Amino acid sequence: MYLGIDLGTSGVKAILMDGDQRIVAEASSRPLAVERPHRGWSEQHPHIWWDAVCEALDRLTASHPRELSAVRGIGLSGQMYGATMLDAADRPIRPAILWNDTRSTAECRLMEQREPDLRRIAGRRATPGVTAPKLIWMREHEPDNFARIRTVLLPKDYVRLRLTGEKVSDMADASGTLWMDVAARAWSDRLLASTGLDVSHMPRLVEGTEPAGTLLPGLADRWGMVNRPVVAGGGGDNACGACGSGIVEPGDGTVSLGTSGVLFVATSEARPSLDHAIETLCHAVPGVWHQMSVILSATSCLNWLASVLKRPAAELVRDLGEAPRPATGLLFLPFLDGCWSPQDDADIRGAFVGLEHGTDERALTFAVLQGVAFALNEAANGFRDNGARFDRLLGIGGGSRSPLWMSMVANALGVGIDIPSASELGAAFGAARLGLIAATNTPPSDVLKRPPIARSIEPDPALTESSGAAFEQWRALYAPVRAASAALRTRV
Q: What whole-number distance in Å separates Cα of residue 257 and Cα of residue 401?
A: 9
Q: What whole-number distance in Å separates Cα of residue 211 and Cα of residue 160?
A: 12
Choose one of 175, 207, 233: the last residue of a domain: 233
Q: 197-216, pLDDT tens digit by residue? A: 999 999 999 999 999 999 99
On whether both 227 and 272 belong to a single domain, the answer is no
- Residue 203, classified by CB atoms within 10 Å of its CB into exposed (0-12), middle (13-18) or buried (19+), is buried
Closest to 195 measured CA to CA, from 301, 36, 83? 83
Give the per-residue pLDDT at 491.
57
On whether both 133 and 265 belong to a single domain, the answer is no
Q: What whole-number distance in Å separates Cα of residue 328 and Cα of residue 326?
A: 7
Neighbours of 459 (CB within 10 A): 19
The answer to whether residue 264 sits within a structural domain is yes
Please give the model's pTM, rounded to 2 decimal places.
Answer: 0.88
Choose one of 170, 205, 233: the last residue of a domain: 233
| β 84-86/151-153 pair status | antiparallel
* pLDDT tens per residue across all 492 residues of the chain: 999 999 998 899 999 999 999 999 999 999 999 899 987 899 999 999 999 999 999 999 999 999 999 999 999 999 999 999 999 999 999 999 998 888 998 999 999 999 999 999 998 889 888 999 999 999 999 999 999 999 999 999 999 999 999 999 999 999 999 999 999 999 999 999 999 999 999 999 999 999 999 999 999 999 999 999 999 999 999 899 999 999 999 889 999 888 788 899 999 988 877 777 788 999 999 999 999 888 878 888 999 999 999 999 999 999 999 999 999 999 999 998 877 778 777 778 999 999 999 999 999 999 999 999 999 999 999 888 888 888 899 998 888 889 999 999 999 999 999 999 875 578 999 999 999 999 999 999 999 999 999 999 999 999 999 999 999 999 999 999 989 988 887 654
Task: Give the per-residue SS3 of 294-353.
Answer: EECCCHHHHHHHHHHHCCCHHHHHHHCCCCCCCCCCCEEECCECEECCCCCECCCCCEEE
Q: Angle CA(204)–CA(207)–CA(213) in degrees, nearest 5? A: 55
- 3-class DSSP assignment, residue 63: helix
On whether both 197 and 84 belong to a single domain, the answer is yes
Q: What whole-number distance in Å separates Cα of residue 268 and Cα of residue 288?
A: 5
The answer to whether residue 295 sits within a structural domain is yes
Bridge partner residues of 85 (DSSP): 152
| Residues 468/460, Cβ–Cβ less than 8 Å | no
Quickly list DSSP for 237-271: HHHHHHHHHT--STT-EEEEESSSEEEEEEESS--
Q: What whole-number distance in Å separates Cα of residue 389 and Cα of residue 291?
A: 11
> Is 237 among the catalytic positions?
yes
Q: What whole-number distance in Å separates Cα of residue 474 and Cα of residue 82?
A: 33
Task: Catalytic residue, from 237, 252, 337, 344: name it.
Answer: 237
Q: What whole-number distance in Å separates Cα of residue 323 and Cα of residue 339?
A: 30
On whether both 359 and 429 belong to a single domain, the answer is yes
On whether both 265 and 407 belong to a single domain, the answer is yes
The answer to whether residue 472 sits within a structural domain is yes
- How many domains does one find in the chain? 2
Which residues have a Cβ under 8 Å from the Cβ of 346 and sit 6 or more positions away? 40, 102, 105, 128, 338, 339
| Residues 203/167, Cβ–Cβ less than 8 Å | yes
| Residues 5/12, Cβ–Cβ less than 8 Å | yes
Closest to 306 measured CA to CA, from 293, 290, 319? 319
- 3-class DSSP assignment, residue 176: coil
CATH of the domain at 394: 3.30.420.40
Neighbours of 381 (CB within 10 A): 15
Torsion sign over Cα 385, 388, 393, 398: negative
Range of the domain at 389: 246-492
Q: What whole-number distance in Å separates Cα of residue 346 and Cα of residue 6?
A: 28
DSSP letter assigned to residue 400: G
Choose one of 233, 260, 281: the last residue of a domain: 233
On whether both 255 and 345 belong to a single domain, the answer is yes
Give the per-residue pLDDT at 19.
96
Q: 37-92, pLDDT tens digit by residue? A: 987 899 999 999 999 999 999 999 999 999 999 999 999 999 999 999 999 999 99
On whether both 220 and 136 belong to a single domain, the answer is yes
Strand residue runs (E) in 65-122: 73-78, 84-86, 96-97
